[in-house]
Amino acid sequence: MSGIEVAGVLLGAFPLIISGIEHCHNVAKVGGYFWQVRKEFNRCRSNLNYNEILYKRNLKALLVPIVTEPDDVALLIADVGGARWKDPKLQERLEARLQDSCDVYMDIIKDINETVEDMKRELCFDKSTVQDQLALPENKKERQPSPNRSKSLIVKSKYDYSKFRIKFSVRDVNREELFARLKECNERLEKLLRTSDQVSALQEAPPSTSKQISILETAFKKTYRQSELLFKALRKSFNCSCQQYHFANLRLEHRTLPEICFEIILMFVAPRQETTSWSWQELQCGRMSGCLVHRSHTNTTQIQPARPQVANGKGNTLPPAPTPKMKKVAFSTVIPAVPKIEVDLVDVRSMELCRLLGDSECSNCMGVIGHDDDVYHLHPFRKRKQCGGESGRTLGYILSRDFEGSLSRRQRYAIALLVASSVAQLQFTPWLRTGLTKEDVLFFSSGGDDNITFTEPFIRQGFSISSPASSCETSECNFYSLGILLLELCFGKPLEDHPIRRKHPAGDGDSKQAFDLMAALQWSRSVCDEGGEDYAAAVRWCFMGTGNTSKGWQMEMIRTVIRPLEICQEHFRTASTV
């Protein structure tokens, strides 16, 4: 018999004992001696009821997470020792739920079972001599004593019955010890299950909120600085006459680690009459430790360990300063030869990136670009299908009726986290346009035309010198537009298609933004019912909590927008494991 079967069988033991106690109560009333046993009877019945309730609650707490349907718990409780308790899958889920405490839990169940059996013996449920005497008068008539019964058996029967009455008339030490054992076992079950659940929750839960916010803030601040320097380094490297036709697509990522490597797609979108040597290049940009680049047209720098050299301002190395000769006594030491390491670095800061991208010989690393002493290695790779004449699919198109596919709720919420996290990282950098909308978020195909990777959105920025930079004065539009984006991703439809927005004029410029905001605020009242309180809190801050963006806005946004959206993602992961 499996552990879960024992637990089910034991469930039926308490009602049997309580029924036996009630039977004794009726007999005592008929026999006229209930006043002698009333106090102990009430105490015994109360203790049994108490321990039965404790055991049922422990069993329900054990079963609720491992059954497939909520009603199955009631069915199991009602089907004491039935076929449902013999399901091997139920036993497997029980073991998975209790983990390393499963054996201990089952030992406690067996201990309760043994205690219940001892209780039956203590109450003489196993003695026919006592049960015959406890039979009600009408039952006694039906069960006439056998004429063959010996006189000694009759005497023994009366003796056992008298002993039982005496024991039940006063507080019995053995009975009290059994009830104490039952209570202790039930409390141990409850404590073991509670601590087991606590450990599981701690193992599955993310780091504490304050620690997680601090980690995110550190990663976001580093991303903010490095992304801005990367953009400036790219713009400086495109010192060509066709700079206005160059665009960079930056992948939006939810960064939680300080190690940063940007993924970008450089594009040359030239007028049709012009021919270009390149049109599309995927790059990984970051501080690639240990990256060695060998190219034939660059000078070789020889690095010799244990012999430091100081470089002068012209790129030459100064000889080491002469040291005065002194008489010394020393042992001769054989110094092993150190192989020279040749490192050829292509410094793109001194050449046109446009011309380098047209070089078909680019392999592992094209070289480095930099700004303000920060350098970024350019590593080409191929992951997505080149768009050709298209510019990728916008989020606006994917949410529209024209898109033949559809986004699941999980995909929409994942995009929402990526977009919100990127706003928190890239706000006030040249990458982020003022008033980010669904038309600024792009997706590219990784294979066929329909194979769009929805978990890898991009934003696009050009390198025109006249490109406006984001400022604190227009920053609130960014948060308002983020709120609208989160709304559209929550419900899976564009704002302009909503009946609330259609009630207002289309407008243009500032008037359109005002009408969009009015409709979005009204629409946002439905977010809690659709997306839950966490998602609603993120949307609410975008519209209501942006009063002071000049001080601590990033920390506030992480706490009130990013973390709630992370929790939404955690709900999906939890649901997938159940």
Q: What is the dihedral of CA 270, 272, 277, 283, to 10 degrees?
A: 50
Residue that the structure tokens 């997706």 belong to: 443
Is residue 126's pLDDT more than 70? no
Where does the pLDDT of residue 130 fall: very low under 50, low under 70, confident under 90, or very high at 90 and above?
A: very low
CB 541 within 8 A of CB 486: no
Is residue 6's pLDDT more than 50? yes
DSSP 8-state secondary structure symbol assigned to residue 100: G
Q: Which of 89-93, 291-295, 306-310, 326-330 has the lowest mean pLDDT?
A: 306-310
Packing angle, helices 13-31 and 3-11, rounded to 10: 20
Q: Which residues contact 530 (CB under 8 A, 6 or more apart)?
A: 490, 491
Is residue 166's pLDDT more than 50? yes
Pairing label, strands 374-381, 367-371: antiparallel
Q: Average pLDDT for residues 274-299, to the nearest whole number?
A: 69
Closest by Cα among 260, 287, 456, 282 to 380: 282
Residue 503 sits at the vertex; the CA angle it makes with 502 and 508, to the nearest 5 degrees, is 65
Tens of pLDDT along 400-443?
A: 999 988 899 999 999 999 999 999 999 889 998 777 889 999 99
Give me the pLDDT at residue 253, please.
Answer: 94
Torsional sign, CA 303, 304, 306, 312: negative
Q: Is residue 42 part of a domain?
A: yes
Tens of pLDDT along 373-396?
A: 888 889 988 888 776 555 688 999
Is residue 560's pLDDT more than 70? yes
Residues in the chain: 578
| Average of per-residue pLDDT values in the chain | 73
- Between 98 and 517, the more confident residue is 517
The reported pTM is: 0.56
- Between 383 and 295, the more confident residue is 383
Report which listed range, 101-105, 210-214, 342-346, 413-417, is most confident. Answer: 413-417
The whole-angstrom separation of Cα 442 and Cα 438 is 8
Q: Which domain holds residue 567?
A: 390-577
Give me the pLDDT at residue 384, please.
Answer: 83
**How does DSSP assign 161-221, residue by residue?**
HHHHHHHHHS--HHHHHHHHHHHHHHHHHHHHHHHHHHHHHHHHSPSPHHHHHHHHHHHHH
CA-to-CA separations, 514 to 263, 481, 504, 505, 517, in angstroms, rounded: 35, 11, 10, 10, 5
Domain stop point among 176, 204, 232: 204
Give me the pLDDT at residue 52, please.
Answer: 79
Closest by Cα among 98, 159, 109 to 133: 159
Q: Average pLDDT for residues 249-269, to the nearest whole number?
A: 91
Is residue 210's pLDDT more than 70? yes
Give me the pLDDT at residue 274, please.
Answer: 65
Is residue 453's pLDDT more than 90? no
Q: Average pLDDT for residues 81-96, to the nearest whole number?
A: 77
Q: Average pLDDT for residues 539-566, to the nearest whole number?
A: 81
Instruction: List beta partners, residue 347.
Output: 368
Is residue 331's pLDDT more than 70? no
Is residue 111's pLDDT more than 70? yes
Report which listed range, 169-173, 253-257, 344-348, 391-395, is most confident. Answer: 253-257
Instruction: List beta partners, residue 377.
Output: 286, 368
Q: Is residue 164 part of a domain?
A: yes
Indicate which CATH number applies to the domain containing 466: 1.10.510.10
Give me the pLDDT at residue 343, please.
Answer: 43
Looking at the chain, the whole-number percentage of residues with pLDDT higher than 70 is: 63
Where does the pLDDT of residue 278 fall: very low under 50, low under 70, confident under 90, or very high at 90 and above?
A: confident
- Between 403 and 43, the more confident residue is 403
**How does DSSP assign 433-468, residue by residue?**
PSS--TTSEEE-BSSSTT-B-TT--EEEEE--TTPP
Q: Is residue 455 part of a domain?
A: yes
Give me the pLDDT at residue 361, please.
Answer: 63
Q: Average pLDDT for residues 131-144, to the nearest whole number?
A: 45
Instruction: State how many domains the chain has.
Output: 2
The whole-angstrom separation of Cα 103 and Cα 491 is 47
Residue 513 sits at the vertex; the CA angle it makes with 508 and 519, to the nearest 5 degrees, is 115
Is residue 62's pLDDT more than 60? yes
Residue type, 397: Y
The whole-angstrom separation of Cα 178 and Cα 119 is 7
Give me the pLDDT at residue 335, please.
Answer: 45
Would you call 317 helix, strand, or coil by DSSP? strand
Q: Is residue 28 part of a domain?
A: yes
Q: Average pLDDT for residues 309-326, to the nearest whole number?
A: 42
Q: Is residue 412 part of a domain?
A: yes
Distance of CA 268 to the CA centre of its chain: 39
Domain stop point among 166, 184, 204: 204
Domain stop point among 204, 233, 261: 204
Q: Average pLDDT for residues 265-285, to the nearest whole number?
A: 82
Q: Average pLDDT for residues 294-318, to the nearest whole number?
A: 37
Where does the pLDDT of residue 447 fall: very low under 50, low under 70, confident under 90, or very high at 90 and above?
A: low
Is residue 538's pLDDT more than 90? yes
- Between 34 and 410, the more confident residue is 410
The whole-angstrom separation of Cα 490 and Cα 535 is 8
Closest by Cα among 416, 408, 456, 430 to 542: 416
Where does the pLDDT of residue 135 fall: very low under 50, low under 70, confident under 90, or very high at 90 and above?
A: very low
Q: Is residue 363 part of a domain?
A: no
Q: Is residue 350 part of a domain?
A: no
Q: Is residue 291 part of a domain?
A: no
